[in-house]
Structure 1
């Protein structure tokens, strides 16, 4: 995921004023659609207001001429504490997640940048990864339910060997995992060399989408 480096300002207007954001030029259309959606609830706008859409929140910062949209800096060491005016990464990621689930004809499930993934030893450097979701994960918990393992996976999950990794750290290590993370329960995803290559049904391992997606 490498959005164009040229930055532009995209804006939308409502009775509450001007809403604007800085984004890569090749994400203009997606960003315009997003801002237009935000104007539909402009009565909620205030400094610090968060739109919970996609992997990270989109946060309003009041200025002299309206509201600027900020996001956690996914490239920073501590994204929760570091905001950026460039919203390109979250917009591109949201677009890619929707592309993956639509290609498979599946609904999208929300995954938050502060939610946890369970990871098996060696996942950071593996070229091919196997992603499965634990169906017993509490939907109210801070975990996504995703288990990330080098491919081929073990026949049985070694729960004692799994380590939690926060979503933004997983993104920094391999963005394709997050691109695939909106796929709902009941599916296996294969990520190969940073690309979402295959989505299969867990029940019969029948493919529902071939990549790269």
Structure 2
């Protein structure tokens, strides 16, 4: 079954790359192929499919249609996978600005796709060690998930716990840095049993791995 699906995907990909006209129906196929190739780690092919989907959505629906913006968000995810963090941020910001225009700035925290983009921006900022911006994005996403799903929903609780862990990690890292400087100056201080927190990259990896099915960090 999987082999047949992959063969079908390959045929669709060939037709897509050789098609001169992209309509909204084909755009859906390209978008789904982009997701499939991204999951398989075929990032070059995934980008080709997303770009064709984007072309079709822009032509059929315009620059600020939610289908267009969903594909832009997915391009951001793809660029992050490729380590192109500047391009990833550009895509996320473009998607978020588009959502604000499409559904209104007061509604972006109650619309799940835009919430995912906000969360993805937070993860990107954390990966870049810009924790102030990351915390702002996570807090905004948490506010939205609490509105949409309720404060006691697993989605809200997971994000709240992650935000707490991030804050504790930052505080502990700051404490360790102070103590290390004190040790370097030989002032006789000790570490008082403070446990070193997970690194930023480890927290980021754990969050994506643990919450992927909920928040769609890599495939939506």
Same fold, TM exceeding 0.5? no
RCO comparison, higher one (Cα < 8 Å, 6+): 1
Structure with the higher strand share, 1 or 2: 1
TM-score with structure 1 length normalisation? 0.26
